[in-house]
């Protein structure tokens, strides 16, 4: 079946530290991969995505590379800011008859302290 | 672009009443909308997939008579929680896909509290 596994949080980092949030997936075929971010009390916002192997998604300093050989899509940022504090969800998308179904990881809470 | 709104953002109701939540795509047409439920500190659980002009497809374990979904137009889907009970209290989030697209764009969510 299809599933996403994320590293458990919470993660606490100092400002300007390096961030890695691990994400691995299990899927048949060739899914698209996404990172979404959820700020407190809000819905999910698309952070970045990659649609095929070796693609790199990037946005706001965050990056993730679609690695088919390791079935991974780890999220990285070189220097985090306090404003990056949020919950990050890794997800994969598979097409089915009723539309693209998303499978989400459990989310990783990040807190960045000044 | 690709903005999705939800209304209301927060609702408190008495047990036994029904609550309607609206999900609108503001600047695009969405043939498919999705309804999720999120429990505190947990991931999103897909409840149903809604295609414009047809009946919604519910995920296993989701009561279709309790969670009524209507997708009357390409920009509006509604979720009605009928005869709400305290265990229905949750954060409900909708998302929408553009025609032929893959990315889902999420609404800001609706927090429901049933007393």
Mutate to test the interface with A, among B106, B109, B110 (most CBs of A within 10 A): B106
Residues B61, A80: Cα–Cα separation, whole Å: 40
Closest CA to B97 of B56, B58, B64, B49: B49
Percentage of chain B beyond pLDDT 70 is: 97
Tens-digit pLDDT string for chain A (114 aa): 888 999 888 999 999 999 999 999 999 888 999 999 998 878 889 999 999 999 999 999 999 999 999 999 999 999 999 999 999 999 999 877 666 788 899 899 999 999
Strand pairing of B110-114 and B10-13?
Answer: parallel
Nearest by CB: B51 against A41, A99, A105: A99
Percentage of chain B beyond pLDDT 90 is: 61
Look up residue B6 and give its two tokens: 């939800």
Contact A102/B42, CB-based, under 8 Å? no
Alpha-carbon distance B36 to nearest alpha carbon in chain A (angstroms): 11
Q: What is the pLDDT of residues B80-106, one digit of tens each?
A: 999 999 999 999 999 998 766 778 889
Query: Angle at the Cα of A44 (from A40 to A50), degrees rounded to 5?
Result: 135
pLDDT at B53: 80
Nearest by CB: A104 against B43, B57, B102: B43
Instruction: Mark B31-63 as b/e (b = at least 16 C-beta within 10 Å).
Output: bbbbbbbbeeeebbbbbbbbbbeeebbbeeebe
Query: Taking an 8 Å Cβ-Cβ cutoff, which residues of chain B contact chain A?
Result: 4, 6, 31-32, 34, 41-44, 46, 49, 51, 57, 93, 95, 97, 102-109, 111
As a dihedral over the C-alpha atoms of residue B107, residue A92, residue A23, residue A16, rounded to 10 degrees, the angle is -40
Calculate the alpha carbon distances from B9 to A28, A31, B23 in Å: 37, 32, 11
């Amino acid at each position: 079946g299809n599933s996403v596994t994320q590293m458990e949080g919470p993660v606490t980092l100092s400002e300007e530290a390096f961030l890695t949030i691990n994400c691995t997936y299990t899927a048949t075929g060739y899914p698209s991969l996404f990172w979404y971010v959820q700020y407190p009390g809000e819905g999910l916002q698309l952070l970045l995505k990659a649609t095929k192997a070796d693609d790199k998604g990037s946005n706001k300093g965050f990056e993730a590379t679609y690695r088919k050989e390791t079935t991974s899509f780890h999220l990285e940022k070189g220097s985090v800011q306090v404003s990056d504090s949020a919950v990050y969800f890794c997800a994969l998308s598979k097409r089915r008859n009723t539309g693209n179904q998303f499978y989400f990881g459990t989310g990783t809470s990040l807190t960045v302290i000044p | 672009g690709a903005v999705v709104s939800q209304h209301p953002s927060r609702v408190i109701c008495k047990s036994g009443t029904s609550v309607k939540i609206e999900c609108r795509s503001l600047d695009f047409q969405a043939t498919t909308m999705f309804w999720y439920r999120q429990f505190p500190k947990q991931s999103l659980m897909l409840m149903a997939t809604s295609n414009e002009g047809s009946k919604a497809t519910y995920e296993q374990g989701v009561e279709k008579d309790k969670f009524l979904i209507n997708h009357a137009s390409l920009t509006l889907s509604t979720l009605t929680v009928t005869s709400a009970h305290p265990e229905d209290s949750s954060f409900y989030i909708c998302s929408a896909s553009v025609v032929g697209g893959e990315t889902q764009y999420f609404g800001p969510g609706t927090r429901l509290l049933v007393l």
